[in-house]
Chains A and B, each alone.
Chain A
C-alpha cells in the first residue's frame, strides 16, 4: 500500500482516492460489466425491444444453431479469420524485417504502410465499392488494360467472389498494424546476435527464418490472438460494401447479429449471436495461450 507520510488524514485520503476512481468505475460498471450480465439474460429471452423480455431458456441458441444462414455467416467469419492470419501476419513480419534493415526512407515507408490502418473502415469500404464496381471500377479497367479481359467480373454481385471482395479491403487495411508491432519486436532483438550470425555467413533469408521468427515467437502469438479477435468482429467494410448480401453470401457473424437485433427487432436472438461471438473469441484466446505457453521457447 501507499507509504505516503505527508498525508495525515487517512480517511480523507481514502475519500479522495475513491472520488478519483469513481467516474471511471461508474462508466465501466454501467456500460461494460452490467451489459455483459444483461447480455446473458437477454440471450435467454424473446424480446422485440418494446415491452418486457419473455424468458424462453436456451431456445434462442437452438434456433440460431438450426439456422443455415447462421452457419454460412459463421463459415464466412472463419474464412475471414484464416485469410487474415495467413496474409496479415506473414506479410507484417516480412515487411517489418525488411524495414528494420533499412535506413533510407525508413520513416517514410513506415508512415505509408500504417496509413490505411488509421483511415475509417467505412471510407475504405466505400473506396473499394467504387474500385470493384463491375462497370466503371478502376480494378476491372486495370485488368482490361493488362489484357486480362477474361478475369473481369462484377466482383460484388458475383456470388463466387463477393465474400473475398469484402474481405480483401479489411485484410489490406490492417497489414500495416502488424508491420508496426513486429517492427518493434525485430528492433528489440540484440544487434550483436544478428551481427554474429551474419559473420558466420548466414544470409538475410536464413537470419529471418532461423533467428528472427523463433525469437519473436511470443509476439507472434500475441498477434495471432489480436488478428483472431479482430476478425471475429469484422463488420464495417462488409456492411458498407454489400450489407452482407446477396442473401448472407458476404455476411459475417457481427453483421448477422446487427441485422437480427436491429433490423428484425429480435433482440434476444441478436444477443445470443453476440454471445456466441464472445465465447468463440475467449475460447480461442484461452486455448491458444495455453498451447503457446506450454511450448514456450526460453531465450
Chain B
C-alpha cells in the first residue's frame, strides 16, 4: 500500500496529510493569535489599536508598560503574587512530601490515603465561606499568611495523590542502605527521599504555582485593599480603571501573563505529566 509507505518515509504530500497539517495549523493559530493581538496592542498607542487593529505597530510605545506598572497597584501586586506563589509552593512541597512519605512507606493503608484523596473531589467553592470564617477566627483574614495557607490547602490533596504514587516507585533498598549506615528517618527523608522525588515535586510545584498565580476567587474573598492585592485583582481593577485605554490594559495583561509563560516553557513536561497522571489514575 502506497499510503503506508508514504507514512513511513515521512513523505507528506498525500492530500490527507496536507489536510491534517492544515487543521493542526489553523487550530494552533486560533490558540495563539489572541495573545499575539494583546502583545502587539500593548506597544501601540490607543488610537492605533482602533485604527490599525491587526497590523504591526507603526509607532512602538513602550510607555504603556511603564504606565501600567505604576497604575492600579500593578507593581505591588506583582511582588505580592510572586511572594504568595513561591511561598505557598515551598510550604506545599514540604507539607505534602512529608505526608506522602508516610503514606507511601509507613502507614500504607488505603483508608488514610483515600481520606486525603477525597479532597480532590471537593471544589474550593463548596468550602470557601466556612474557610473564610475559620481564617477570620484565627485572625488570618487579610494577611499574607492567610492567603498562602489557602493556596497551599487548595493544592494539598492533588499533590499528595501525585506524590504518593511517585514515592511508591522509589526502590526501598536505597532507604534501607541509608538506615544500615545509621541515618535517622529525618535525615533519610531530607537527604535521600526528597532529592530522588525531584521530578514529582517539580510536577506538583508547577501546578501549584500556576494555580495560585492564576487564582481570583480566594484573593477576592480573603484580601481587601491594595496592600495585599494580587495581580489578578489588579487586572480586575485595571479594566474598570482604564476603560478604553486598551494600550494600558493589554500591557497590564502582558505583565501578568509573561511570568506564567516563562514557567510554562521551562516546566511543560512536568505539567503534562501531572495532568496525564491525574486523569489516568482517577
**Residues of chain A having any CB pair with chain B under 8 Å:** 1-2, 4, 6-7, 13, 16-17, 20-21, 23-25, 27-28, 30-32, 34-36, 38-39, 42, 95, 98-99, 101-105, 108-116, 118-123, 126-131, 136, 138, 141-142, 172, 176-177, 180-181, 184-185, 198-199, 201, 203-204, 219, 222-223, 226, 229, 232-233, 235-236, 239-240, 254, 257-258, 261-262, 267, 270-271, 274-275, 277-278, 281-282, 285
Question: Is B61 close to A, CB under 8 A?
Answer: no
Across the interface, do B35 and A122 meet the contact criterion of CB distance under 8 Å? no
The 8 Å CB contact of A111, one of B49, B220, B268, is B268
Across the interface, do B24 and A7 meet the contact criterion of CB distance under 8 Å? no
Give the size range of B's interface with the partner.
35 or more
20 more contacts with CB within 8 A, not counting A28-B157, A130-B249, are A25-B99, A28-B156, A38-B130, A38-B133, A39-B126, A42-B130, A112-B32, A116-B34, A118-B260, A120-B231, A120-B235, A122-B236, A123-B256, A130-B246, A136-B50, A136-B244, A177-B275, A219-B279, A258-B220, A271-B129
Q: Which residues of A contact B238 (CB under 8 A)?
A: 126
Question: Is B102 close to A, CB under 8 A?
Answer: yes
Q: Of B67-75, B197-205, B210-218, which binds chain A?
A: B210-218
Across the interface, do B49 and A136 meet the contact criterion of CB distance under 8 Å? yes
Across the interface, do B125 and A277 meet the contact criterion of CB distance under 8 Å? yes
Q: Which residues of A contact B103 (CB under 8 A)?
A: 21
Across the interface, do A7 and B125 meet the contact criterion of CB distance under 8 Å? no
**Residues of chain B having any CB pair with chain A under 8 Å:** 1, 4, 10, 12, 16, 20-21, 23-24, 27-28, 30-32, 34-35, 37-38, 49-50, 53-54, 94-96, 98-99, 101-103, 105-108, 116, 119, 121-131, 133-134, 149-150, 152-153, 156-157, 160, 176, 179-180, 185-186, 189, 210, 213-214, 216-217, 220-221, 231-232, 235-236, 238-239, 244, 246, 249-250, 253, 256-257, 260-261, 263-265, 268, 271-272, 275-276, 279-280, 282
